[in-house]
Chain A
């Protein structure tokens, strides 16, 4: 509140300064002999700079953007399930934000642990949790997607001889654009006490899809899906083995940056 008041105060100062300047200009205009050609040129330059700046920052239509709609997220498997349902916001532990081609998904309280929740498979204890994120994406007519960049960041704690990982599979526009799979692997050869892991991947969209988008007669909407899977694997003779992915209280951050280009 005080900052807002401070802004208002500064704004008033601004207005006051402008008023003084205007008055000075009027006085000058009534005494043309006092104006040299040098000051006149200076004023013209100032006026031109002001006009250019004003033009640069005047309201202007925004570029066309992707629109994200009908978002839901749901979980399956072991561990704490993920959930996003606009009808029950208090129970959501998936938070998403989109700005055109940029999508941010934050999975809070989404984790698996060994050996608390585990099944025996092939002589090993395994646990996994899957989080599926669905949305409808609309791309404006006359535009196509050029590149996609994915980022996955999380914290991990695990004992030695426990392996696991997080994978991300995604499709944009149903199955037309399979996203590169992201694999964040927790290797069994070392313990991780509070590791912060970060994986990036960028891919270029194939030409046939660009052509089909650019030849569409109207804007196109498709279902889009991201599937995150968290897996932990431990060896049975070591009951104390533990994997906590992510670190208790740490979140999984997924980011998608898609650059939109105008069709040629």
Chain B
């Protein structure tokens, strides 16, 4: 199945499950129309991307890299698909092969409660008289923990400094979990002010963000916890661009 299609389908599922994401039905209908028409499945990838990546940074206790400086996060792909509603979908693939939370060996210097974070920031210019209509992110994770360990996994999707979607998964102490997989899908809409003039949202530089936070709360130093990305250890960021009407 085409990756964009799978993203969109899962976006739909996520929206169906959550009504608190501040997502309008209009954007969902647009995505649904694109899916039902088979536009994503038959979409033609293009190198003439309507989005230019000016810079990106991955930073935190669990990762470090930037566009101009190699590290343990890489931008591995970028492709564009057309949708039937006149918008374009740009999908960015980031690889995070080393980002994980692992309970370290018995080390008295390590805290009982500890975290690993990775925050990704992407600076992008929509080309032409276009603006971001919606954004989405998909990342597969796998986690394990001992019975007396609690795990908190938080994912935040940001656009222009605003949190547009977030997901919190809390696995309380009380039962052991082994290699449980979870596909995290977040989507949201830009926060637009009333009467916002087009210059603010059309053709202007945008900052996309995705934050991972994994926290392990152990009862003793020998308790174990492990969280990491599964499958191809990738984060997919999908940006839907629409032409400005003004």
Binding site for B on A (CB under 8 A): 1, 3-4, 6-8, 10-11, 13-14, 17, 49, 52-53, 56-65, 89, 95, 97-104, 106, 108-109, 147, 149, 151, 153, 155, 157, 193-194, 196, 198, 244, 246-251, 253, 255-257, 259-262
Contacts and interface: CB of A to CB of B under 8 A. Distances in A.
Contacts of A95: 57, 59
A13 to B, nearest CB: 7
B46 A14 contact: yes
Interface stretch (B5-13, B118-126, B175-183): B118-126
Given A247-B113, A259-B200, A108 B77 contact: no
B162 interface: yes
A65 to B, nearest CB: 6
A247 B61 CA distance: 11
B105 interface: no
A77 B77 CA distance: 43
A261 B197 contact: yes
Given A57-B243, A95-B59, A63 B160 contact: no
Nearest to B58: A95
29 contacts: A3-B79, A4-B76, A6-B45, A11-B44, A11-B45, A11-B47, A56-B128, A56-B244, A57-B243, A60-B127, A63-B200, A89-B69, A95-B57, A99-B205, A99-B207, A104-B207, A106-B60, A196-B215, A244-B111, A249-B61, A249-B117, A250-B213, A251-B117, A256-B161, A257-B160, A259-B193, A259-B196, A260-B200, A261-B199
B228 interface: no
B188 interface: no
Which 10 pairs between the two chains have the least Cβ-Cβ distance? A56-B243, A257-B161, A3-B77, A10-B45, A14-B44, A95-B59, A99-B207, A250-B115, A248-B111, A249-B115
B21 interface: no
B133 interface: no
B206 A99 contact: yes
Nearest to B170: A194
B57 A63 contact: no
B129 interface: yes
Interface in B107-151: 110-111, 113-117, 119, 121, 123-125, 127-130, 150
Contact of A63 (B76, B199, B207): B199
Contact of B44 (A13, A56, A64, A194): A13
Contacts of B123: 97-99
Contacts of A247: 111, 113-115, 215
Main secondary structure of the interface of A (DSSP, over half): mixed
Nearest to B207: A99
B109 to A, nearest CB: 10
B204 A65 contact: yes
Contacts of A261: 197, 199-200
Given A11-B44, A104-B207, A251 B61 contact: yes
B221 interface: no
Contacts of A3: 76-77, 79, 93
Contact of A248 (B44, B50, B114, B150): B114
B223 interface: no
B88 A57 contact: yes
Nearest to A94: B59
A4 B92 CA distance: 11
Contact of A262 (B47, B116, B197): B197
